Amino acid sequence: MLPRCAAPVCHVLLLVLCLSAAEDFDWTKNDRSSSFYYGTFPTGFSWGAGSSAYQTEGAWDKDGKGLSIWDVFSHKKGRVLRNDTGDSSGEGYYKVKDDVSLMNELKLNHYRFSISWPRIIPTGIKSDHINEKGIKYYNELIDHLLENKITPIVTLYHWDLPQVLQEKYGGWQNVSIVNHFNDFASLCFEKFGNRVKYWITFNNPWSVAVEGYETGEHAPGLKMRGTGAYRTAHNIIKAHAKVWHTYDTQWRGRQKGLVGISLSGEWGEPVDINNQKDIEAAERYVQFYLGWFATPIFHGDYPQVMKDYIGRKSTQQGLGSSRLPSFSSQEKSYIKGTCDFLGIGHFTTRYITQKNYPASRGGASFFTDRDLAELVDPRWPDPGSEWLYSVPWGFRRLLNFVKAQYGNPMLYVTENGVSEKMQCTELCDDWRIKYYRDYINELLKAIKDGVNVRGYTAWSLLDKFEWDEGYSERFGLYYVDFRSKNKPRYPKASVQYYKRIISSNGFPNQREVETWKRRATETCSSSNQLLAADPLTSHMEMVTEIVVPTVCTLCILLSAVFLMFLLRRRN
């Protein structure tokens, strides 16, 4: 998720910039839209959908699971919208078979999910205790996927750090975490690596660093502006490299799998493509996002522009050294090249312009270090999350940037999708159909440009807990009725559409593709009816599960009392 721009002040700024820019910036001249491309993806291209443990599993305190920082954070009042928690979410923990059958319905080639560290090592420290029940759960999920010919792509860290590690050591702020993470990863390779061949060390470390330790919007909720994010990222990069080396030296020979990382990268487009300052600011935006992690992993060190900007600002603030930590030369060569494939999570784009933030002593922050402002085109569709505008052409640009910067690595799109923020239920999600259609089409164009993308993961399979936004934002292809105890799933129209893209391996020809949307929206109205009947079903569930047993027990009690009364009278 993109930052909602660090502070409310920035919202205003964004708005002001939008308004003033709208006058002197001719959006039409910069219209990046281009025509639809009909064609198919390379043979063997992998189609998938994704989820993460805390967002979908529920069962937060079941079967020996330890607490994660998200359990603790969401239980504190006022941290998550409406005080929602992931305590039960969609109960994915209990629904392995049901959910795999939804994947079959879509004919997915892969499913991306994450392992909850505290579910298998409750305190996070391997020597303390290993929770066999947690291992059993992931074994069943992996086996069931493989029985259904669905390749598991497994993320080791999707934000649910064991709470004990946060309390004892300060979580990702402390370098000691590198060894604990390596122990956890080794356990996963040992237990699951005979069947899992695609490992992702971290999901979107940008969010962990910035939202967890800089703005505090995410767990563990720390606001260490100007330093917290950089220190977190530094330890994450070291932990990633260590796990890659562990796999490379101890497991790869036997297991023959791949280890990568999933980075979030939104595209930054210069407001004025003829203005050098805007061009540089837009590049800085991407370097402070994706480049922050990708450059060390592919080239051994942070992007030069980050070193220059943060270093200069630190000096201006009177600090003796840069707030951006540095790698020793040994560390650089250890980190460089630790990526068998790169995962890309991409959702949206921003226009970027140069904006200077004077360095002040107390006012340092990740956001002001970049010296830029983000703008949006008011015409971009934004059906759901306030940060998520649909700008398909940005996706192709980002992918080409990755190709050029990092030597055309093997890529998997590990997240792409759109949310809705509807109060009333809507299964006929035509805006999501359009989003997927256009973003996947830009991906196809990028592949034609020569970008080495091997797979695409729709985000997400199901509606789920959307971090600090709780259940108010729904990303799922399948709707989950969170009000109902059984958490039933209903296909949205986008399921039908995505299914057709998968079965055709792309967009074969105009005549056929044009029928897909109509057919998809035809089926969703019947699902809508089913869902509309759901309050009745929940009511019936309540009647059978609570009212009937209570009445029966009362009847039995009354009959017993009555019988005793009769017997006494006889005597």
| Residues in contact with ligand NOJ by the rule CB under 6 A | 1, 52, 55, 203-204, 345, 415, 466, 475
Residue 160 or 272: the one with the smaller Cβ distance to ligand NOJ is: 160
Whole-number Cα distances in Å, 111 to 75, 108, 184: 29, 7, 21
Residue nearest to ligand NOJ (CB): 1
Residue 10 or 200: the one with the smaller Cβ distance to ligand NOJ is: 200
Written as one string, the DSSP assignment of 202-270 is EE-HHHIIIIIHTS-SSTT----TTTHHHHHHHHHHHHHHHHHHHIIIIIHHHH--EEEEEEE--EEEE
Residue 297 or 364: the one with the smaller Cβ distance to ligand NOJ is: 297
Residue 368 or 416: the one with the smaller Cβ distance to ligand NOJ is: 416
Written as one string, the DSSP assignment of 420-454 is B--SS-----HHHHHHHHHHHHHHHHHHHTT--EE
Q: How far is the CB of 201 from ligand NOJ (least distance, A)?
A: 14
Are the C-beta atoms of residues 117 and 124 closer than 8 Å to each other?
yes
Q: How far is the CB of 436 from ligand NOJ (least distance, A)?
A: 15
Q: How far is the CB of 153 from ligand NOJ (least distance, A)?
A: 14
Whole-number Cα distances in Å, 421 to 50, 311, 417: 20, 41, 14
Which amino acid is residue 305, in one-letter code?
A: V
Residue 52 or 338: the one with the smaller Cβ distance to ligand NOJ is: 52
Q: What distance, in Å, lies between the first and last C-alpha atoms of the chain? A: 77
Are the C-beta atoms of residues 277 and 269 closer than 8 Å to each other?
no
- Nearest-angstrom CA–CA distance, 26 and 352: 14
- Nearest-angstrom CA–CA distance, 189 and 539: 45
Q: How far is the CB of 15 from ligand NOJ (least distance, A)?
A: 22
Q: How far is the CB of 70 from ligand NOJ (least distance, A)?
A: 11
Residue 118 or 345: the one with the smaller Cβ distance to ligand NOJ is: 345
Residue 272 or 463: the one with the smaller Cβ distance to ligand NOJ is: 463
Of 491, 488, 484, give the one whose Cα is nearest residue 540.
Answer: 484
Whether the upstream peptide bond of residue 264 has omega within 30° of 0, thus cis, is no
- Nearest-angstrom CA–CA distance, 324 and 326: 7
Other residues' Cβ atoms within 10 Å of the Cβ of residue 273: 12
Q: How far is the CB of 419 from ligand NOJ (least distance, A)?
A: 7
Which amino acid is residue 347, in one-letter code?
A: F
Q: How far is the CB of 28 from ligand NOJ (least distance, A)?
A: 30
Q: How far is the CB of 91 from ligand NOJ (least distance, A)?
A: 18
DSSP state of 468: G
Q: How far is the CB of 263 from ligand NOJ (least distance, A)?
A: 10
Residue 125 or 443: the one with the smaller Cβ distance to ligand NOJ is: 443
Residue 6 or 130: the one with the smaller Cβ distance to ligand NOJ is: 6
**Tokens linked to 455:** 């797979």
Whole-number Cα distances in Å, 265 to 278, 285, 413, 524: 19, 10, 11, 32
Q: How far is the CB of 204 from ligand NOJ (least distance, A)?
A: 4
Residue 123 or 203: the one with the smaller Cβ distance to ligand NOJ is: 203
**Tokens linked to 18:** 């939008």
